[in-house]
Structure 1
Amino acid sequence: MVGRLVDWIAVNRDSIWVHWVHNNYLKGQDWMDYKPSMNSSWVWRRICKIKDKMVAGYANGKWNVQPDGYTPAGSYEWLRGGRPKVSWYKVVWNGWVIPKHQFMGWLIAHAALNTTSKLVGFGVDIENTCCICALAEETTEHLFCECAYSKRVVRERNGTMLQKGIQNAMMLSLIYQIWHQRNKCRNEQILLCPERVAKHIIEEMRARVRGRDRLQMNLADLEWLKKMNLFE
Protein backbone atom coordinates (compact mmCIF):
# COMPACT_ATOMS: atom_id res chain seq x y z
CA MET A 1 0.00 0.00 0.00
CA VAL A 2 2.91 2.35 0.69
CA GLY A 3 4.08 1.45 -2.80
CA ARG A 4 1.05 3.28 -4.17
CA LEU A 5 2.49 6.51 -2.73
CA VAL A 6 5.79 5.66 -4.42
CA ASP A 7 3.94 5.29 -7.72
CA TRP A 8 2.08 8.58 -7.29
CA ILE A 9 5.40 10.37 -6.86
CA ALA A 10 6.91 8.52 -9.84
CA VAL A 11 4.11 9.53 -12.23
CA ASN A 12 3.82 13.00 -10.64
CA ARG A 13 0.17 12.50 -9.85
CA ASP A 14 -1.90 15.69 -9.72
CA SER A 15 -2.39 16.00 -5.96
CA ILE A 16 -1.37 18.54 -3.34
CA TRP A 17 0.70 15.97 -1.42
CA VAL A 18 2.68 14.88 -4.51
CA HIS A 19 3.36 18.51 -5.48
CA TRP A 20 4.52 19.19 -1.91
CA VAL A 21 6.91 16.19 -2.02
CA HIS A 22 8.43 17.34 -5.31
CA ASN A 23 8.87 20.91 -4.07
CA ASN A 24 10.18 20.14 -0.57
CA TYR A 25 12.06 16.84 -0.93
CA LEU A 26 12.97 16.03 -4.52
CA LYS A 27 13.60 19.58 -5.78
CA GLY A 28 14.22 18.40 -9.33
CA GLN A 29 16.08 15.18 -8.41
CA ASP A 30 15.21 11.90 -10.12
CA TRP A 31 12.84 10.05 -7.79
CA MET A 32 14.37 6.64 -8.51
CA ASP A 33 17.86 7.84 -7.53
CA TYR A 34 16.77 10.00 -4.59
CA LYS A 35 18.18 9.27 -1.11
CA PRO A 36 16.57 10.86 1.99
CA SER A 37 18.65 12.80 4.49
CA MET A 38 19.22 11.34 7.97
CA ASN A 39 17.09 14.08 9.59
CA SER A 40 14.06 13.25 7.41
CA SER A 41 10.93 12.01 9.18
CA TRP A 42 10.48 8.29 9.81
CA VAL A 43 7.45 8.21 7.49
CA TRP A 44 9.37 9.75 4.59
CA ARG A 45 12.37 7.46 5.09
CA ARG A 46 9.99 4.49 5.10
CA ILE A 47 8.45 5.57 1.78
CA CYS A 48 11.93 5.89 0.32
CA LYS A 49 12.89 2.44 1.61
CA ILE A 50 9.87 0.92 -0.14
CA LYS A 51 10.81 2.85 -3.29
CA ASP A 52 14.27 1.25 -3.27
CA LYS A 53 12.63 -2.21 -3.20
CA MET A 54 10.40 -1.30 -6.13
CA VAL A 55 12.85 0.59 -8.34
CA ALA A 56 13.57 -2.43 -10.55
CA GLY A 57 9.91 -2.48 -11.57
CA TYR A 58 10.08 0.98 -13.15
CA ALA A 59 11.26 2.05 -16.59
CA ASN A 60 11.18 5.66 -17.79
CA GLY A 61 9.35 6.64 -14.64
CA LYS A 62 6.48 4.17 -15.20
CA TRP A 63 5.58 0.92 -13.48
CA ASN A 64 6.24 -1.72 -16.16
CA VAL A 65 5.28 -4.84 -14.21
CA GLN A 66 1.56 -4.56 -14.94
CA PRO A 67 0.10 -3.31 -18.22
CA ASP A 68 -2.75 -1.43 -16.53
CA GLY A 69 -0.59 0.39 -14.00
CA TYR A 70 0.34 -0.11 -10.39
CA THR A 71 -1.79 -2.13 -7.96
CA PRO A 72 -0.76 -3.31 -4.47
CA ALA A 73 -1.69 -6.92 -5.34
CA GLY A 74 0.39 -6.88 -8.51
CA SER A 75 3.42 -5.39 -6.78
CA TYR A 76 3.13 -7.97 -3.99
CA GLU A 77 3.18 -10.85 -6.48
CA TRP A 78 6.16 -9.27 -8.24
CA LEU A 79 8.11 -8.80 -5.00
CA ARG A 80 7.49 -12.33 -3.75
CA GLY A 81 8.46 -13.83 -7.10
CA GLY A 82 6.47 -16.02 -9.45
CA ARG A 83 5.19 -19.22 -7.89
CA PRO A 84 3.25 -21.94 -9.71
CA LYS A 85 -0.25 -22.71 -8.49
CA VAL A 86 -0.44 -25.95 -6.57
CA SER A 87 -2.81 -28.68 -7.74
CA TRP A 88 -4.91 -28.59 -4.55
CA TYR A 89 -5.70 -24.88 -4.29
CA LYS A 90 -9.17 -25.10 -5.87
CA VAL A 91 -10.12 -27.86 -3.43
CA VAL A 92 -8.89 -26.18 -0.25
CA TRP A 93 -9.43 -22.47 -1.01
CA ASN A 94 -13.00 -23.00 -2.11
CA GLY A 95 -15.69 -20.55 -0.98
CA TRP A 96 -18.01 -23.37 0.09
CA VAL A 97 -15.49 -24.81 2.55
CA ILE A 98 -15.72 -23.90 6.23
CA PRO A 99 -12.49 -22.11 7.29
CA LYS A 100 -11.46 -24.67 9.95
CA HIS A 101 -11.85 -27.38 7.30
CA GLN A 102 -9.69 -25.34 4.92
CA PHE A 103 -6.94 -25.28 7.54
CA MET A 104 -7.14 -29.06 7.89
CA GLY A 105 -6.89 -29.45 4.11
CA TRP A 106 -3.91 -27.09 4.03
CA LEU A 107 -2.14 -29.19 6.70
CA ILE A 108 -2.72 -32.38 4.71
CA ALA A 109 -1.54 -30.76 1.47
CA HIS A 110 1.72 -29.85 3.22
CA ALA A 111 2.05 -33.28 4.91
CA ALA A 112 1.96 -31.45 8.24
CA LEU A 113 -0.74 -33.41 10.06
CA ASN A 114 0.68 -34.99 13.23
CA THR A 115 -0.39 -38.57 12.71
CA THR A 116 1.17 -41.09 15.09
CA SER A 117 3.51 -42.36 12.35
CA LYS A 118 4.87 -38.82 11.99
CA LEU A 119 5.22 -38.44 15.77
CA VAL A 120 7.11 -41.76 15.97
CA GLY A 121 9.40 -40.42 13.25
CA PHE A 122 10.08 -37.42 15.49
CA GLY A 123 11.13 -39.79 18.27
CA VAL A 124 7.94 -39.72 20.33
CA ASP A 125 7.33 -42.98 22.19
CA ILE A 126 3.74 -43.71 21.16
CA GLU A 127 1.75 -46.61 19.69
CA ASN A 128 1.40 -45.85 15.98
CA THR A 129 -1.41 -48.25 15.11
CA CYS A 130 -4.63 -46.62 13.85
CA CYS A 131 -6.78 -46.20 16.95
CA ILE A 132 -9.98 -46.43 14.90
CA CYS A 133 -9.53 -49.76 13.12
CA ALA A 134 -6.37 -51.08 14.85
CA LEU A 135 -5.41 -52.79 11.58
CA ALA A 136 -2.59 -50.67 10.20
CA GLU A 137 -0.07 -47.93 10.90
CA GLU A 138 -1.72 -44.52 11.29
CA THR A 139 -0.50 -42.54 8.31
CA THR A 140 -2.37 -39.76 6.50
CA GLU A 141 -3.04 -42.11 3.57
CA HIS A 142 -4.41 -44.84 5.81
CA LEU A 143 -6.54 -42.57 7.99
CA PHE A 144 -8.34 -40.76 5.17
CA CYS A 145 -8.20 -43.27 2.28
CA GLU A 146 -7.65 -46.82 3.50
CA CYS A 147 -9.26 -47.05 6.94
CA ALA A 148 -12.61 -48.89 6.81
CA TYR A 149 -14.14 -46.09 8.90
CA SER A 150 -13.30 -43.37 6.36
CA LYS A 151 -14.30 -45.52 3.38
CA ARG A 152 -17.92 -45.37 4.52
CA VAL A 153 -18.28 -41.90 2.99
CA VAL A 154 -16.53 -41.44 -0.37
CA ARG A 155 -17.83 -39.27 -3.25
CA GLU A 156 -16.69 -38.71 -6.80
CA ARG A 157 -16.41 -34.97 -7.53
CA ASN A 158 -17.99 -33.93 -10.84
CA GLY A 159 -20.73 -31.70 -12.22
CA THR A 160 -21.07 -27.90 -12.38
CA MET A 161 -18.77 -25.49 -10.58
CA LEU A 162 -21.26 -25.20 -7.73
CA GLN A 163 -21.58 -28.98 -7.46
CA LYS A 164 -17.82 -29.50 -7.50
CA GLY A 165 -17.39 -26.76 -4.88
CA ILE A 166 -19.92 -28.37 -2.55
CA GLN A 167 -18.46 -31.85 -3.10
CA ASN A 168 -14.97 -30.54 -2.29
CA ALA A 169 -16.38 -28.82 0.79
CA MET A 170 -18.00 -32.07 1.93
CA MET A 171 -14.75 -33.96 1.33
CA LEU A 172 -12.80 -31.53 3.53
CA SER A 173 -15.59 -31.66 6.11
CA LEU A 174 -15.23 -35.45 6.07
CA ILE A 175 -11.46 -35.17 6.58
CA TYR A 176 -11.98 -32.76 9.46
CA GLN A 177 -14.59 -35.00 11.10
CA ILE A 178 -12.43 -38.13 10.76
CA TRP A 179 -9.50 -36.32 12.38
CA HIS A 180 -11.82 -35.06 15.11
CA GLN A 181 -13.11 -38.59 15.76
CA ARG A 182 -9.56 -39.92 15.72
CA ASN A 183 -8.60 -37.45 18.46
CA LYS A 184 -11.66 -38.31 20.57
CA CYS A 185 -10.96 -42.01 20.11
CA ARG A 186 -7.31 -41.66 21.13
CA ASN A 187 -7.81 -39.19 23.97
CA GLU A 188 -11.26 -40.04 25.34
CA GLN A 189 -11.93 -43.55 23.96
CA ILE A 190 -15.10 -42.22 22.29
CA LEU A 191 -15.96 -42.92 18.65
CA LEU A 192 -19.22 -41.94 16.94
CA CYS A 193 -20.69 -44.31 14.40
CA PRO A 194 -20.03 -43.35 10.72
CA GLU A 195 -23.74 -42.68 10.16
CA ARG A 196 -23.78 -39.92 12.80
CA VAL A 197 -20.61 -38.39 11.38
CA ALA A 198 -22.10 -38.41 7.86
CA LYS A 199 -25.30 -36.82 9.19
CA HIS A 200 -23.28 -34.04 10.85
CA ILE A 201 -21.46 -33.35 7.56
CA ILE A 202 -24.80 -33.06 5.73
CA GLU A 203 -26.17 -30.69 8.40
CA GLU A 204 -23.07 -28.48 8.15
CA MET A 205 -23.41 -28.34 4.38
CA ARG A 206 -27.12 -27.54 4.58
CA ALA A 207 -26.30 -24.56 6.80
CA ARG A 208 -23.66 -23.46 4.28
CA VAL A 209 -26.16 -23.66 1.42
CA ARG A 210 -28.80 -21.73 3.39
CA GLY A 211 -26.31 -18.91 3.85
CA ARG A 212 -25.83 -18.42 0.10
CA ASP A 213 -27.94 -16.42 -2.34
CA ARG A 214 -30.28 -18.91 -4.00
CA LEU A 215 -30.86 -16.54 -6.92
CA GLN A 216 -27.33 -17.35 -8.10
CA MET A 217 -28.18 -21.05 -8.39
CA ASN A 218 -29.65 -22.37 -11.62
CA LEU A 219 -32.46 -24.91 -11.79
CA ALA A 220 -30.11 -27.85 -12.41
CA ASP A 221 -28.05 -26.98 -9.32
CA LEU A 222 -31.18 -26.63 -7.19
CA GLU A 223 -32.39 -30.05 -8.35
CA TRP A 224 -28.97 -31.51 -7.57
CA LEU A 225 -29.00 -29.97 -4.08
CA LYS A 226 -32.41 -31.50 -3.43
CA LYS A 227 -31.18 -34.89 -4.65
CA MET A 228 -28.18 -34.60 -2.30
CA ASN A 229 -30.54 -33.76 0.57
CA LEU A 230 -28.87 -30.36 0.96
CA PHE A 231 -31.82 -28.16 0.01
CA GLU A 232 -35.22 -28.00 1.66
Structure 2
Amino acid sequence: MDWWAYEPPASASWGWKAICRVKNKFRNAYTGNRWQNGDKGYTIKAGYDWLQGQQLRVPWHYWVWNSLNIPKHSFIAWLAMLERLKTKERLFKSGVCTDKACLFCDVGEDSCLHIFFRCSYSATICDQILRWMNIKIAGYENMFTTWKKWGRIFRRKKLQKVSYAVLTALVYHIWKSRNHTLWNAAVQYPRCVVEHIQRDICSRIKSSVDIHCNIEDRNWINELVIRCS
Protein backbone atom coordinates (compact mmCIF):
# COMPACT_ATOMS: atom_id res chain seq x y z
CA MET A 1 0.00 0.00 0.00
CA ASP A 2 1.30 3.45 -0.92
CA TRP A 3 2.07 5.70 2.08
CA TRP A 4 -0.34 8.37 0.93
CA ALA A 5 -3.27 5.93 0.82
CA TYR A 6 -3.15 5.29 4.58
CA GLU A 7 -6.00 6.81 6.62
CA PRO A 8 -5.71 7.21 10.44
CA PRO A 9 -8.22 5.40 12.66
CA ALA A 10 -11.02 7.39 14.28
CA SER A 11 -9.28 7.08 17.67
CA ALA A 12 -6.09 8.76 16.41
CA SER A 13 -4.76 11.74 18.37
CA TRP A 14 -5.15 15.35 17.20
CA GLY A 15 -1.42 15.57 16.31
CA TRP A 16 -1.58 12.50 14.12
CA LYS A 17 -4.66 13.82 12.34
CA ALA A 18 -2.91 17.13 11.69
CA ILE A 19 0.02 15.29 10.11
CA CYS A 20 -2.37 13.34 7.93
CA ARG A 21 -4.09 16.54 6.78
CA VAL A 22 -0.73 17.81 5.52
CA LYS A 23 -0.11 14.42 3.91
CA ASN A 24 -3.40 14.71 2.03
CA LYS A 25 -2.31 18.07 0.61
CA PHE A 26 0.91 16.51 -0.67
CA ARG A 27 -0.95 13.61 -2.24
CA ASN A 28 -1.62 15.70 -5.34
CA ALA A 29 2.10 16.09 -5.95
CA TYR A 30 2.74 12.33 -6.07
CA THR A 31 2.15 9.64 -8.64
CA GLY A 32 2.43 6.45 -6.65
CA ASN A 33 5.61 6.98 -4.67
CA ARG A 34 7.19 9.28 -7.22
CA TRP A 35 7.54 12.98 -6.33
CA GLN A 36 6.03 15.19 -9.06
CA ASN A 37 7.48 14.14 -12.44
CA GLY A 38 9.95 11.70 -10.89
CA ASP A 39 13.08 13.48 -12.15
CA LYS A 40 14.20 14.42 -8.64
CA GLY A 41 13.57 12.96 -5.21
CA TYR A 42 11.58 14.74 -2.53
CA THR A 43 13.30 17.37 -0.38
CA ILE A 44 11.88 19.59 2.35
CA LYS A 45 12.69 22.68 0.26
CA ALA A 46 10.94 21.22 -2.80
CA GLY A 47 7.91 20.30 -0.69
CA TYR A 48 7.74 23.75 0.90
CA ASP A 49 8.04 25.50 -2.48
CA TRP A 50 5.32 23.31 -3.94
CA LEU A 51 3.03 23.92 -0.95
CA GLN A 52 3.52 27.69 -1.25
CA GLY A 53 2.56 27.65 -4.90
CA GLN A 54 3.46 30.27 -7.49
CA GLN A 55 4.60 33.42 -5.70
CA LEU A 56 4.85 36.95 -7.06
CA ARG A 57 8.49 38.05 -7.05
CA VAL A 58 8.67 41.68 -6.00
CA PRO A 59 11.65 43.86 -7.01
CA TRP A 60 12.09 45.35 -3.53
CA HIS A 61 13.02 42.04 -1.93
CA TYR A 62 16.68 42.91 -2.56
CA TRP A 63 16.72 45.58 0.13
CA VAL A 64 14.09 44.23 2.52
CA TRP A 65 15.72 40.79 2.83
CA ASN A 66 19.30 41.96 2.35
CA SER A 67 21.67 39.61 4.24
CA LEU A 68 23.33 42.49 6.11
CA ASN A 69 20.03 43.75 7.56
CA ILE A 70 19.15 43.27 11.21
CA PRO A 71 16.27 40.73 11.07
CA LYS A 72 13.74 42.78 13.06
CA HIS A 73 14.46 45.74 10.77
CA SER A 74 13.73 43.58 7.72
CA PHE A 75 10.44 42.40 9.22
CA ILE A 76 9.14 45.94 9.82
CA ALA A 77 10.36 47.09 6.38
CA TRP A 78 8.54 44.13 4.82
CA LEU A 79 5.28 45.06 6.56
CA ALA A 80 5.79 48.69 5.55
CA MET A 81 6.27 47.82 1.87
CA LEU A 82 3.09 45.74 2.00
CA GLU A 83 1.38 48.64 3.84
CA ARG A 84 0.42 46.25 6.62
CA LEU A 85 1.69 48.30 9.56
CA LYS A 86 -1.05 49.28 12.01
CA THR A 87 -1.21 52.92 10.99
CA LYS A 88 -4.10 55.17 11.94
CA GLU A 89 -5.12 55.26 8.29
CA ARG A 90 -5.70 51.48 8.31
CA LEU A 91 -7.33 51.49 11.73
CA PHE A 92 -9.61 54.35 10.68
CA LYS A 93 -10.96 52.23 7.83
CA SER A 94 -11.78 49.52 10.39
CA GLY A 95 -13.54 51.98 12.65
CA VAL A 96 -10.89 51.71 15.40
CA CYS A 97 -9.56 55.29 15.13
CA THR A 98 -11.52 58.51 14.92
CA ASP A 99 -8.87 60.39 12.92
CA LYS A 100 -6.00 59.73 10.54
CA ALA A 101 -3.69 62.65 11.43
CA CYS A 102 0.06 62.05 11.46
CA LEU A 103 1.39 61.75 15.00
CA PHE A 104 4.56 63.65 14.08
CA CYS A 105 3.51 66.63 11.98
CA ASP A 106 -0.32 66.63 12.26
CA VAL A 107 -0.42 67.69 8.60
CA GLY A 108 -0.52 64.49 6.57
CA GLU A 109 -2.10 61.12 7.26
CA ASP A 110 -0.61 58.50 9.54
CA SER A 111 0.09 56.15 6.64
CA CYS A 112 3.11 54.28 5.31
CA LEU A 113 3.22 56.52 2.26
CA HIS A 114 3.39 59.67 4.41
CA ILE A 115 5.56 58.45 7.29
CA PHE A 116 8.28 57.07 4.96
CA PHE A 117 9.53 59.79 4.19
CA ARG A 118 7.16 62.60 3.26
CA CYS A 119 6.51 63.66 6.84
CA SER A 120 8.68 66.63 7.87
CA TYR A 121 9.81 64.72 11.00
CA SER A 122 10.94 61.60 9.15
CA ALA A 123 12.40 63.77 6.35
CA THR A 124 14.60 65.49 8.95
CA ILE A 125 15.88 62.12 10.16
CA CYS A 126 16.39 60.97 6.59
CA ASP A 127 18.36 64.12 5.72
CA GLN A 128 20.72 63.59 8.67
CA ILE A 129 21.27 59.96 7.69
CA LEU A 130 21.94 60.98 4.08
CA ARG A 131 24.56 63.48 5.26
CA TRP A 132 26.13 60.81 7.46
CA MET A 133 26.41 58.49 4.44
CA ASN A 134 27.48 61.35 2.18
CA ILE A 135 24.54 60.77 -0.19
CA LYS A 136 23.10 63.67 -2.15
CA ILE A 137 19.49 63.17 -3.26
CA ALA A 138 17.37 66.21 -4.11
CA GLY A 139 13.86 66.54 -2.71
CA TYR A 140 11.82 64.36 -0.39
CA GLU A 141 11.49 60.73 -1.37
CA ASN A 142 9.15 57.96 -0.34
CA MET A 143 10.17 54.48 0.71
CA PHE A 144 8.87 52.92 -2.50
CA THR A 145 11.41 54.79 -4.67
CA THR A 146 14.24 55.52 -2.23
CA TRP A 147 15.70 52.01 -2.33
CA LYS A 148 16.03 52.22 -6.12
CA LYS A 149 18.01 55.44 -5.97
CA TRP A 150 20.24 54.20 -3.16
CA GLY A 151 20.97 51.04 -5.12
CA ARG A 152 22.02 53.09 -8.16
CA ILE A 153 24.29 55.36 -6.11
CA PHE A 154 26.23 52.43 -4.66
CA ARG A 155 27.33 50.27 -7.56
CA ARG A 156 29.54 47.87 -5.60
CA LYS A 157 27.74 44.99 -3.89
CA LYS A 158 29.17 45.50 -0.40
CA LEU A 159 28.23 49.18 -0.29
CA GLN A 160 24.77 48.41 -1.64
CA LYS A 161 24.27 45.95 1.22
CA VAL A 162 25.33 48.57 3.76
CA SER A 163 23.00 51.17 2.25
CA TYR A 164 20.05 48.76 2.31
CA ALA A 165 20.83 47.90 5.95
CA VAL A 166 20.74 51.63 6.72
CA LEU A 167 17.43 52.03 4.88
CA THR A 168 15.72 49.20 6.79
CA ALA A 169 17.10 50.62 10.06
CA LEU A 170 15.68 54.00 9.06
CA VAL A 171 12.22 52.50 8.51
CA TYR A 172 12.38 50.47 11.73
CA HIS A 173 13.44 53.32 14.02
CA ILE A 174 11.02 55.85 12.54
CA TRP A 175 8.22 53.36 13.11
CA LYS A 176 9.48 52.72 16.64
CA SER A 177 9.56 56.47 17.29
CA ARG A 178 6.03 56.76 15.91
CA ASN A 179 4.82 54.12 18.38
CA HIS A 180 6.65 55.89 21.20
CA THR A 181 4.77 59.07 20.29
CA LEU A 182 1.46 57.21 20.23
CA TRP A 183 1.80 55.57 23.64
CA ASN A 184 3.74 58.25 25.51
CA ALA A 185 2.34 61.43 23.90
CA ALA A 186 5.90 62.69 23.42
CA VAL A 187 7.89 63.05 20.21
CA GLN A 188 11.54 62.00 20.35
CA TYR A 189 14.16 64.40 19.09
CA PRO A 190 15.16 63.46 15.51
CA ARG A 191 18.79 63.41 16.58
CA CYS A 192 18.04 60.65 19.13
CA VAL A 193 16.49 58.49 16.41
CA VAL A 194 19.48 59.12 14.13
CA GLU A 195 21.86 58.02 16.90
CA HIS A 196 19.91 54.78 17.40
CA ILE A 197 20.15 54.07 13.67
CA GLN A 198 23.87 54.81 13.57
CA ARG A 199 24.54 52.65 16.63
CA ASP A 200 22.70 49.68 15.15
CA ILE A 201 24.37 50.00 11.75
CA CYS A 202 27.90 50.53 13.08
CA SER A 203 27.71 47.46 15.30
CA ARG A 204 26.33 45.49 12.37
CA ILE A 205 28.77 46.50 9.65
CA LYS A 206 31.93 46.18 11.76
CA SER A 207 31.55 42.41 11.54
CA SER A 208 31.10 42.60 7.75
CA VAL A 209 34.59 43.99 7.15
CA ASP A 210 36.75 40.98 6.36
CA ILE A 211 39.57 39.88 4.09
CA HIS A 212 37.15 39.70 1.16
CA CYS A 213 36.52 43.47 1.32
CA ASN A 214 38.59 45.51 -1.08
CA ILE A 215 40.54 48.50 0.26
CA GLU A 216 38.08 51.06 -1.11
CA ASP A 217 35.05 49.40 0.49
CA ARG A 218 36.89 48.91 3.79
CA ASN A 219 37.89 52.56 3.92
CA TRP A 220 34.34 53.72 3.18
CA ILE A 221 32.89 51.53 5.93
CA ASN A 222 35.55 52.63 8.41
CA GLU A 223 34.84 56.29 7.63
CA LEU A 224 31.14 55.66 8.22
CA VAL A 225 31.90 54.20 11.64
CA ILE A 226 34.24 57.08 12.49
CA ARG A 227 31.59 59.67 11.55
CA CYS A 228 29.18 57.87 13.84
CA SER A 229 31.42 58.20 16.92
Confirm or deny a common fold (TM above 0.5). Answer: yes
- Aligned-residue offset at 1:35: 4.4
Distance 1:206-1:32 versus aligned 2 partners, 3 A rule: same
- Give me the whole-angstrom Cα distance separating, in 2, the residues matched to 1:135 and 1:204: 30
- Give me the whole-angstrom Cα distance separating, in 2, the residues matched to 1:129 and 1:44: 50
Identity over the aligned pairs, expressed in percent?
Answer: 27
Contact 2:73–2:172 under 8 Å retained in 1? yes
Letter in structure 2 aligned against 1:161: K
Question: Which deviates further from its counterpart, 183-192 or 52-61?
Answer: 52-61
- Aligned-residue offset at 1:32: 6.9
- Cα deviation, 1:35-72, whole Å, max 9, x if unaligned, reads 46959x98999988766544544458543457443211
RMSD of equivalent CA atoms? 3.4
Aligned residue pairs, count: 203
Distance 1:67-1:225 versus aligned 2 partners, 3 A rule: farther
Point out the structure with max Rg over C-alpha. Answer: 1
- Give me the whole-angstrom Cα distance separating, in 1, the residues matched to 2:96 and 2:164: 33
Letter in structure 1 aligned against 2:58: V
- Aligned-residue offset at 1:213: 5.9
Q: Is structure 2 residue 166 aligned with structure 1 residue 170?
A: yes
Distance 1:217-1:65 versus aligned 2 partners, 3 A rule: farther
Partner of 1:13: none
Letter in structure 1 aligned against 2:43: T
Q: Is structure 2 residue 48 aligned with structure 1 residue 76?
A: yes
Q: Is structure 2 residue 159 aligned with structure 1 residue 159?
A: no
Pairing partner for 1:104 from 69, 76, 84: 76
Partner of 1:145: 117
Partner of 1:90: 62
Distance 1:68-1:140 versus aligned 2 partners, 3 A rule: same
Q: What stretches of structure 2 of length at least 5 have no aligned partner?
A: 131-149
- When normalised by structure 1's length, the TM-score is 0.70
- Give me the whole-angstrom Cα distance separating, in 1, the residues matched to 2:8 and 2:97: 60
Higher relative contact order (CA closer than 8 Å, sequence separation 6+): 2
Letter in structure 2 aligned against 1:107: L
- Give me the whole-angstrom Cα distance separating, in 2, the residues matched to 1:142 and 1:50: 42
Question: Which deviates further from its counterpart, 57-66 or 155-164?
Answer: 57-66
Contact 2:88–2:97 under 8 Å retained in 1? no
- Give me the whole-angstrom Cα distance separating, in 1, the residues matched to 2:184 and 2:17: 57
- Cα deviation, 1:190-211, whole Å, max 9, x if unaligned, reads 3232223222211111111233
